């Protein structure tokens, strides 16, 4: 193998790629420029400022819409091989539908793609990173099955407009996050219903993803020669104890939080994880529902979804402990009761600036091995990994996070033979962190939100990550990075 390890250096294979990621709503701003339509995050931050930690919005964010050449310049400085960004659906299709295409939106992403090519950076494009056109949400959004056709229509526009330039596509980012937190929790559109609308959302997302994959295979791949995948988030779930109950709870939680989306696409059999099907069916019955709250795929749908990805996009940040809980079944549906376990953490795990994110590098290796063993060692692209801190340029704790997680990744690749082809740091720059506003900073570059042009300044981690991206080796002693 071309991977090697010396006492001084830990190196990744020569072909291994390093990149950085962002998402449209989190960095672009220009929320109402030209004909752009309103997204659910525009509506949510405008009508519910109290639900955003610092009452901010993404109206301007890092203003990347007006400043993308500057962002590309930062990537050039880092020396990364690719840039993962997302396209704003309502910037392309203001009302979500194809009868009206916003030419300014097409122009914007074409300009960005051109700028990337001029600088030798490969684009990896996410079609949907949570900013649904509000007009579609008014019809029920991801809970209305008509969204499947509309998403396919949107994807067709993207393949037609950008397919000559974009060779790696990600249909959706983290369906668990936007279905569970959006339709069952506090993300936009907000205040929906856990254990019900979240499952409708997930069901339609899976079919929509499968249909887009099949369309690309039928109509575009011959000419465009690209790859289509999906990004799924997986926090490692470690049993809290060696008891059988905790061991079993951990596996059930993995299946509910990750298998929900991974099993239908990447398992041999397809469809939902059997344990999820079984538990939700039984609990729905006890709650006197006539049918299971988890919708049922037709055999045709199972086949459309099964195997519908050229690669596995993995977002991984952290680890939790699973504790078995014999929760009483209440009449009120809940994803968490369906799952029947509780998540904890070890007090000694180092903290970040996000409550949900603890620094546990060994969990990364375990997550990668679980994927390898469960889904026949698929091609994995790590599409996000990163750490939040307070503002500040001397981010040695972020450097340690990257160092620890990359070492775990390296072991997974070299020792365990996990089939991982690239790594993406989240994020290039500080950005609008959803309901946490600007309070949680993930950037390699700090954004000064008070400055009129949203000045970017390199943190210590930028120098460190740039060194890795350029050499594909983890410096043995990062104290001496320039
Ligand atoms: C990601 N977890 O969401 C999103 O894709 C990004 O848009 C976001 O900025 C980033 O994380 C940082 O928050 C996640 O619980 C949500 O493990 C939850 C988890 C991981 C990622």
Report which protein residue has its CA nearest ligand 1's atom 7: 23
Calculate what percentage of the chain has a pLDDT beyond 90: 95
**Backbone torsion region of residue 195, taken as left when φ is above 0, otherwise alpha when ψ lies between -120 and 50, otherwise beta:** left
The number of the ligand 1 atom at minimal distance from the alpha carbon of 130 is 7
Residue-level pLDDT at 478: 59
Can you say how many angstroms the Cα of residue 114 is from the centroid of all Cα atoms in its chain? 25
Q: For residue 5, what pLDDT is reported?
A: 38
| 316 Cα–ligand 1 center, Å | 8
Cα–Cα distance for residue pair 363/177, rounded to 1 Å: 20
CA distance 439 to 52: 10
- Torsion angle of the four alpha carbons 254, 389, 191, 237, in this order, in degrees rounded to the nearest 10: 10
Separation CA 226–CA 169 (nearest Å): 8
- Residue 132 has phi, psi (to 5 degrees) of -65, 140
Closest CA to ligand 1's atom 15 = 356
Q: Give the Å distance between the CA of 336 and the centre of ligand 1.
A: 19
* d(CA 364, ligand 1 centre) in Å: 15
Contact 391, 429 (CB under 8 A): no
- Predicted confidence (pLDDT) per residue in 190-246, tens digit: 978 999 999 999 999 999 999 999 999 999 999 999 999 999 999 999 999 999 999
Atom number in ligand 1 closest to CA 177: 16
> How much is the pLDDT for 481?
41
Q: Give me the residue label for tokens 């570059």.
A: 445
Give the catalytic positions in this structure.
174, 384
Percent of the chain residues topping a pLDDT of 70:
97
Whole-angstrom distance, CA of residue 185 vs CA of residue 187: 6
CA 289 to ligand 1 center in whole angstroms: 33
Q: Which residues contact 344 (CB under 8 A, 6 or more apart)?
A: 240, 320, 321, 322, 323
Nearest residue to 6 via CA among 414, 334, 323: 414
Residues of the chain with pLDDT under 50: 1-7, 480-482
ipTM score of complex: 0.93
By most ligand atoms within 8 Å of CB, the mutation choice from 315, 355, 389, 428 for ligand 1 is 315
Distance 258 CA to ligand 1 centre (A): 14
Pocket of ligand 1 (CB under 6 A): 23, 173-174, 177, 233, 235, 315, 317-318, 356, 384, 426, 433, 442
Q: 478: number of CA atoms within 13 Å, CB side?
A: 23
CA-based max dimension of the chain: 65
How far the first Cα of the chain sits from its last, in Å, is: 30
Q: Which two tokens stand for residue 393?
A: 């340029």
Is residue 314 within a helix (H) or strand (E), and if so which, with residue range?
A: strand 312-315
Going from the C-alpha of 452 to that of each of 44, 63, 431, the distances in angstroms are 25, 10, 15
Number of other residues whose CB lies within 10 A of the CB of residue 353: 17
Strands 236-239 and 168-173: unpaired
For the CA of 434, the nearest atom of ligand 1: 9
Mutation test of ligand 1: which of 186, 188, 233, 345 has the most ligand atoms closer than 8 Å to its C-beta? Answer: 233
């Amino acid at each position: 193998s071309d991977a090697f390890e010396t006492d001084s250096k830990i190196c990744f294979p020569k072909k291994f790629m390093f990149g950085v990621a962002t998402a449209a709503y989190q960095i672009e701003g220009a929320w109402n420029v030209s004909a752009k339509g309103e997204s659910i995050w525009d509506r949510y931050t405008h009508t519910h400022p109290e639900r955003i930690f610092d009452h901010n919005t993404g109206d301007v964010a890092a203003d990347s819409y007006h400043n993308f050449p500057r962002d590309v310049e930062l990537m050039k400085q880092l020396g990364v091989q690719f840039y993962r960004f997302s396209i704003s659906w309502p910037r392309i299709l203001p009302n979500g539908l194809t009868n009206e295409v916003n030419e300014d939106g097409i122009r914007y992403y074409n300009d960005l793609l051109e700028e990337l090519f001029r600088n030798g950076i490969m684009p990896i494009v996410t079609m949907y990173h949570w900013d649904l056109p509000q007009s579609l949400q008014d019809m029920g959004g991801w809970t209305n099955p008509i969204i499947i056709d509309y998403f396919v229509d949107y994807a067709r526009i993207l393949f037609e407009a950008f397919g000559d330039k974009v060779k790696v596509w990600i249909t959706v980012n983290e369906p668990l996050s936007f279905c569970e937190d959006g339709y069952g929790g506090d993300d936009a559109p907000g205040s929906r219903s856990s254990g019900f609308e979240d499952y409708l959302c997930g069901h339609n997302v899976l079919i929509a993803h499968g249909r887009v994959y099949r369309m690309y295979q039928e109509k575009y791949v011959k000419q465009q020669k690209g790859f289509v995948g999906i990004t799924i988030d997986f926090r490692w779930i470690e049993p809290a104890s060696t008891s059988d109950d905790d061991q079993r709870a951990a596996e059930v939680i993995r299946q509910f939080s990750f298998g929900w989306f991974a099993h239908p696409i990447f398992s041999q059999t397809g469809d939902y994880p059997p344990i999820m099907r079984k538990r939700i069916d039984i609990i729905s019955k006890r709650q006197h529902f006539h049918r299971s709250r988890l919708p049922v795929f037709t055999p045709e749908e199972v086949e459309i979804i099964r195997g519908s990805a050229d690669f596995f996009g993995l977002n991984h940040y952290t680890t939790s402990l699973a504790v078995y809980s014999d929760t009483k079944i209440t009449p009120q549906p809940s994803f968490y009761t369906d799952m029947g376990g509780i998540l904890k953490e070890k007090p000694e795990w180092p903290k970040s600036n996000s409550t949900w994110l603890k620094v546990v590098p060994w969990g990364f290796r375990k997550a990668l091995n679980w994927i390898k063993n469960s889904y026949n060692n698929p091609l994995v692209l790590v599409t996000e990994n990163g750490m939040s801190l307070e503002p500040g340029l001397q981010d040695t704790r972020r450097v340690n996070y990257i160092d620890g997680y990359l070492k775990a990744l390296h072991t997974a690749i070299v020792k365990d033979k996990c089939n991982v082809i690239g790594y993406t740091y989240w994020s290039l720059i500080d950005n609008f962190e959803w309901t946490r506003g600007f309070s949680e900073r993930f950037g390699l570059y700090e954004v000064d939100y008070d400055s009129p042009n949203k000045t970017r300044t390199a943190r210590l981690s930028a120098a460190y990550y740039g060194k890795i991206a350029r050499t594909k080796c983890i410096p043995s002693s990062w104290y001496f990075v320039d």
